[in-house]
Amino acid sequence: MDTGASVKTSADFPLPTTMKAWVLGDPGELKLTEKTVPRPKRAEVLVRIDAVAICATDLEIIAHGSPALIEGGMPFNKNFTPGHEYMGTVVALGPGVDEYRIGQRVTVEIHAGCGQCKRCREGMYTSCLNYGAGDKGHRANGFTTDGGFCEYQVNNINTLVAIPDAMSDEEATLVVTAGTAMYGLTELGGLVAGESVVVTGPGPIGLLGVAVAKALGAAPVILTGTRDNRLKIGRELGADHVVNVRNDNAVEAVRRLNGGRGVDYVLECSGAPNAVNDAIHMVSRGGKVCLAAFPHDETRVDVAHIVRDNIYLYGIRGEGKSATHRAEALMSQKRFDATKIHTHTFALDDLPTAIRYARDRVDDAIKVVVKAKGVAAQRVAAE
């Protein structure tokens, strides 16, 4: 079946004209409404969204607007649908698309760069110089274009990652989180087996950062944080040592656990005010620090120490350079169990409740997933 303009569809996946979608009104206000099902254009597919995870950045966007940028400004009252960590099923192909097939399960990256600026040509599409310019071809679903808190969404083929049928919907929503950790560890940091790694902050990215680092052969892997329940999960995902910074000096503990020396690499995922300064004192001379979280306020940093010790400091945005493909490969090979961070599932209609669980950490929530298909609210039983 064909809907015209060379868009390919299938009778096995009939498409409605409208869909349920949550839109952002005033700060903190989400409304369930009806939107037109979008049509894929050249190099795009239409994805039926089967599950979407809630990210801390979604909470920031819903409450404060930034870092979303809609029509050049804040996303409020612009009929904008947030949400970016989604997976689903390909149900329509744009003109000329043959890289994916209808009925194929995929998970998605956020960013599709313009493909024509200097950064995109270098493969750094998360740093696209035409960020937010839709007329140039840039898309960042859930940030500059509509996201996944709805039933269908258009995605550029460059943002898709095929997933095996054996991978659950819930696990597939976590591929992008693991991809962010992978981006920091392999693309910007150059992590190789046998190097020592500290991950600061046992949130979703930090916990999967531990898992990815261990799967890549890092040793030792040290996780620091403030919540024992999260640190316990970090142990299960491969951390050789954990440090509760409420009970121990983080820098001293890291050096003690690494034989009195600084480590090779720190993946900073906490966004805490003192985190960057602690990180540069955890690494050895010539060490590398990757900043995967952004603090709300300006942070004081000992720049003289960075210069004296020849420390490399990196910032990353999202999950660039196709790191999600490598993360999915590790997950498909069962190199680690990402589902350990998935704690709750809600139906799409219950999105406000799901957001409250994620924001307030109700019932020790870590990663909360929303499913478009009708499901009863559930908490995943701890193993």
Domains in the chain, start-ordered, CATH in brackets? 18-162+337-379 (3.90.180.10), 178-315 (3.40.50.720)
Cβ distance 236 to 214 under 8 Å?
no
Contact between residue 383 and residue 232 where contact means Cβ atoms under 8 Å apart: no
Which pLDDT tens digit goes with each residue over 56-112?
999 999 999 999 999 999 999 999 999 999 999 999 999 999 999 999 999 999 999
Dihedral sign, Cα of residue 74, residue 59, residue 37, residue 26: negative
Instruction: State the DSSP code for 74.
Output: -
| Alpha helix positions (H), the chain | 56-64, 118-121, 169-172, 175-182, 204-215, 228-236, 250-257, 275-282, 303-308, 323-332, 351-360
Reduce the DSSP state of residue 21 to 3 states and report it. strand
Does residue 183 contact residue 73 with C-beta atoms inside 8 Å?
no
Which of 143-157, 177-191, 316-330 shows the lowest mean pLDDT across its residues?
177-191
Lowest mean pLDDT among 187-191, 248-252, 307-311: 187-191
Distance in angstroms (rounded) separating the CA atoms of residues 374 and 354: 14
Give the model confidence (pLDDT) of 277-293 as tens digits: 999 999 999 999 999 98
DSSP 160-179: EEE--TTS-HHHHTTHHHHH
Q: What is the pLDDT of residue 2?
A: 47
Q: What is d(CA 24, CA 76) in angstroms, rounded to the nearest whole number?
A: 6
Q: Is the pLDDT of residue 169 over 60?
A: yes
Q: What is the DSSP letter of 221?
A: E
With tokens 């019932």, the residue in question is 363
pLDDT digits (tens, 9 = 90+) for 20-48: 999 999 999 999 999 999 999 999 999 99
Percent of the chain with pLDDT over 90: 88
- Alpha-carbon distance of 360 to 272, in angstroms, equals 18
Over 80: is that where the pLDDT of 374 sits? Answer: no
Torsion angle of C-alpha atoms 258, 264, 269, 270, degrees rounded to 10? 50
Report in angstroms the alpha-carbon separations of 75 from 40, 41, 194, 207, 332.
Answer: 23, 24, 44, 30, 36
CB atoms within 10 A of CB 90: 24
State residue 295's pLDDT score: 79
Residues paired with 312 in a beta bridge:
288
Q: What is the pLDDT at residue 279?
A: 97
The percent of residues above 70 in pLDDT, for the chain, comes to: 95
Contacts of 69 (CB under 8 A, 6+ apart): 75, 131, 132, 143, 144
Confidence of residue 378 (pLDDT cuts 50, 70, 90): low
DSSP conformational letter for 80: B
Say what the pLDDT of residue 298 is.
85
Both tokens of 241, joined, read 């040592």
Using CA atoms, how far apart are residues 290 and 189, in angstroms rounded to an integer?
Answer: 7
- Asked if 178 contacts 338 with a C-beta cutoff of 8 angstroms, the reply is yes
Position 321 scores a pLDDT of: 83
Give which of 285, 290, 131, 139 is closest to 201, Cα–Cα.
290
Cβ neighbours of 303 (radius 10 Å):
11
Q: What pLDDT sits at residue 186?
A: 79
Pairing relationship of beta strands 312-315 and 283-291 according to DSSP bridges:
parallel
Chain mean pLDDT for the chain: 93
More confident residue, 187 or 274: 274
Model pTM above 0.95: no
What is the rounded CA–CA span in Å between residue 47 and residue 105?
A: 9
**Burial level of 318, CB count in 10 A (0-12/13-18/19+)?**
buried
Is 97 in contact with 39 (CB distance < 8 Å)?
no
Residue 17: the pLDDT is 97
Q: What does the alpha-carbon distance between residue 93 and residue 112 come to, in Å, rounded to a whole number?
A: 17
Amino acid 116: pLDDT: 94
- For residue 382, is pLDDT > 50? no
